[in-house]
Amino acid sequence: MPLEDAKKQIDHAFTRQDLRGLSFENAFGGATSFMRRKYTKDLQGVDLAVTGIPFDQAVTNRPGARFGPRAIREASTLQAFDPPYGWEFDPFSECNIIDYGDLAFDYAQISAFPAALKSHIQTILDADVASIALGGDHYVSFPILQAYAEKYGPLSLLQFDAHSDTWPDDDMSRVDHGTMFYKAVKTGLIDPSRSVQVGIRTTNEDLLGVNIIDAREVHETGPVAVAKKIKSLLGDAPTYLSFDIDCLDPGFAPGTGTPVWGGLSSGQAAIILRDLAGINILGGDVVEVSPQYDSSGATAVAGAHVAVELICLWAHKHKKNG
């Protein structure tokens, strides 16, 4: 870390002038925007916006993912000094990436939340800016997918998760973090034949035709083979990538609402995400980080790393090789 830069940089989320470049602000101080990007609602000239969705009223077990965006932002300050490891380029120096702040909504008007989130993402997409969302529970993916599908048409879904989240639910008014991908398939937001769920280790009798790579297959075949299989299934289809942190084993990410044993290691997830370079990712999210169940902070650290990898995947396809 350049010492002189570290001495003079503080609150880079507000004081930085350029949307590009690394930040050498002390990790333990200052305003904690994601990766020290500039906090702004101005989308002019922006390539990608990171936004927080602090909503967890759809959970079936432990609440707390409303604190996920804040924890992920704080954890990301550990990565802001250097280019992302293993990539041949630095998206934070080559792309205009901002922290768009959080969605504003009335926590007491749950029925109004889906439309508020959809509109929030539409504002970003209408400016021809990509989004990476920090959840929040996993329901948040559904209004986001609605916004993306309206702009781009039906998408492939690449989902990392312990749960399929495709349990039957034909009541569109229900807000549930375990049924939103059932609704996404049934309403035509995603194409199940070109979608993939990775890390699954809970029973659901009807998977709606989505391709499954369960946790055991990841352990038995290895992350390199899994990444190749995912790429073969997706092809160049426009893809939305949703990463539920409970895809990771509770030993690596205990801070989540519905932990399930036998999950992926952080190392396996890192290799898979890195080897997915080239997929046609249009946007994504990291969800279900509930920091209060993890005194070590490891879950938020994992969430921050995943979000950076999603940014790298997007930039690799649409900027470096676009």
Question: From first to last of its 322 residues, what are the pLDDT tens digits of the chain?
Answer: 565 666 688 999 999 989 999 999 999 999 999 999 999 999 999 999 999 999 999 999 999 999 999 999 999 999 999 999 999 999 999 999 999 999 999 999 999 999 999 999 999 999 999 999 999 999 999 999 999 999 999 999 999 999 999 999 999 999 999 999 999 999 999 999 999 999 999 999 999 999 999 999 999 999 999 999 999 999 999 999 999 999 999 999 999 999 999 999 999 999 999 999 999 999 999 999 999 999 999 999 999 999 999 999 999 998 766 5
Distance, in Å, from the CA atom of 84 to the CA atom of 52, rounded to the nearest integer, reads: 21
- φ/ψ of residue 84, rounded to 5: -60, 130
Distance, in Å, from the CA atom of 235 to the CA atom of 247, rounded to the nearest integer, reads: 23
Distance, in Å, from the CA atom of 77 to the CA atom of 24, rounded to the nearest integer, reads: 9
What does the pLDDT read at residue 321? 63
What does the pLDDT read at residue 124? 98
Listed residue (85, 66, 86, 62) closest to 250, CA to CA: 62
What does the pLDDT read at residue 292? 98
Helical (H) or strand (E) element with 53: strand 48-53
What does the pLDDT read at residue 5? 65
What does the pLDDT read at residue 165? 95
Domains and CATH numbers, the chain: 40-72+125-320 (3.40.800.10)
**What tokens were used for 114?**
């889906």
What does the pLDDT read at residue 171? 93
- Helix then strand count (H, E) for the chain reads 11, 8
pLDDT in tens, 57-81: 999 999 999 999 999 999 999 999 9
Distance, in Å, from the CA atom of 33 to the CA atom of 22, rounded to the nearest integer, reads: 13
CB–CB of 157/87 below 8 Å? no
CB–CB of 124/49 below 8 Å? yes
pLDDT in tens, 203-223: 999 999 999 999 999 999 999
Please tell me whether residue 190 adopts helix, strand or coil conformation: strand
DSSP letter for each residue of 97-127? EEEEEEPP--TT-GGGHHHHHHHHHHHHHHT
Alpha helices in the chain (DSSP H): 3-8, 12-15, 68-76, 91-94, 113-126, 141-152, 180-186, 215-221, 223-234, 266-275, 298-315
Listed residue (53, 135, 147) closest to 102, CA to CA: 53
Beta pairing, strands 239-244 & 281-287 = parallel
pTM: 0.96
Asked whether the bond before 322 is cis by omega within 30 degrees of 0, the reply is no
Listed residue (2, 33, 22, 160) closest to 95, CA to CA: 22
